[in-house]
Amino acid sequence: MTASAADHHACATLLRASGSSFEWPIRLLPAAKRRGTTALYAFCRRADDIVDDAPDAGSARESLDAFEATVRDGLTGLSVDDPVVRALSDTVRRFAVPPEHIHDILAGVRMDLDRDSYASLADLDLYCSRVAGAVGLAAIHVWGFTSAAAPAVARDCGLAFQLTNILRDIPEDMARGRIYLPAEDFAACGCRIDDLRAGRIGPEFSRLASFEADRAAAAYARAAVLDRLLTTDGRIAFRAMFGVYRALFAGVRRAGPRIFSTRPRRSRAALAVAAVTTLCRGPRRERRW
């Protein structure tokens, strides 16, 4: 399936409207890879919005089923009416993206309809592998990589970014009835999930915030290796994205237990500086976060 310029324009419009931190890094890619990465982003955004914006779980499930069927048709070469799916299918074909990564992303999004909490890190890891690790795996096929080690590291990068999202969005996710932090982590740090829901954030939540931040920091350290496993085109985009997300994570780490009640925020100027700095210096491991 060949996508038209209008299909890719629809994806670019969705990216701009989202206000995503990825918009500027994606612009650094050459035209064909920029279109492909934008199509991948637009697909992920559409899937997320289907679940998050639906009036109820039943409607979300019905809409996600329909979208997944359209994606399946598009990936098998059938004609579809959705411009985002046409652009995605064209990207998968042009860059030899394994279709299983696309299906994994949808399976991860569907998990938000099937569960609202996680008992263990293993449970959360499966979710992160699907909604973020699979995105990283798809993206490096568009960008280009030079080592067989790249896919495993791309998964770690997705994990680092997703853990950052989870820690930034705790109040917002609770408003939707979701708590992503594993119950076993609460227990290990002497915290109670019921206290989080009730807004009773005692001193023990400082331990939980540090515990989760340490896990994310370890993922960032592993993900930094991806810099030397990508083609030049991919390395430029990766560095900018890594810089932005590591700056977001630094804000999370500084906020400490405030993440349980208020979403940490960084200015666009601060994120731009972080992106440019990492672009120039590379994703070196920081001594302090």
pLDDT > 70 fraction of the chain, expressed in percent and rounded: 98
> How confident is the model at residue 1, as a pLDDT?
60
- What is the C-alpha to C-alpha distance for residues 106 and 71, in angstroms, rounded to an integer? 10
| Residue 120 belongs to a domain | no
State the pLDDT confidence band at 288, using cuts at 50, 70 and 90.
very low
pLDDT per residue as tens digits for the range 71-121: 999 999 999 999 999 999 999 999 999 999 999 999 999 999 999 999 999
Same domain for 191 and 87: no
Q: What is the mean pLDDT of the chain?
A: 94
The yes-or-no verdict on residue 220 having pLDDT over 50 is yes
Which domain-ending residue is among 114, 148, 173? 114
Asked if residue 242 belongs to a domain, the reply is yes
Query: Model confidence over 160-180: pLDDT tens digits?
Result: 999 999 999 999 999 999 999
**Pair 251, 179 in one domain:** yes
The CATH number that applies at residue 96 is 1.10.600.10
Per residue in 233-287, pLDDT (tens digit) is 999 999 999 999 999 999 999 999 999 999 999 888 888 899 899 988 888 655 4
pTM of the model: 0.92
Residue 119: inside a domain: no
Q: Which residue has the tokens 């340490």?
A: 214
Domain with 258, as residue range(s), is 125-289
Residue 274 lies in a domain: yes
The pLDDT of residue 4 is 87
The pLDDT of residue 153 is above 80: yes
Q: Are residues 100 and 142 in the same domain?
A: no
Q: What is the pLDDT of residue 44?
A: 97
pLDDT score for 289:
40
Looking at 114, 147, 168, the residue that finishes a domain is: 114
- Both 110 and 148 in a single domain? no
Region label for 147, one of left (φ > 0), alpha (ψ between -120 and 50) or beta (otherwise): beta
3-state secondary structure the chain: CCCCHHHHHHHHHHHHHHCCCCHHHHHCCCHHHHHHHHHHHHHHHHHHHHHHHCCCHHHHHHHHHHHHHHHHHHHCCCCCCCHHHHHHHHHHHHCCCCHHHHHHHHHHHHHHHHCCECCCHHHHHHHHHHHHHHHHHHHHHHHCECCCCHHHHHHHHHHHHHHHHHHHCHHHHHHCCCECCCHHHHHHCCCCHHHHHHCCCCCHHHHHHHHHHHHHHHHHHHHHHHHHHECHHHHHHHHHHHHHHHHHHHHHHHHHHHHHCCCCCCCHHHHHHHHHHHHHHCCCCCCCC
137 and 251 together in one domain: yes
| Shared domain check, 223 and 277 | yes
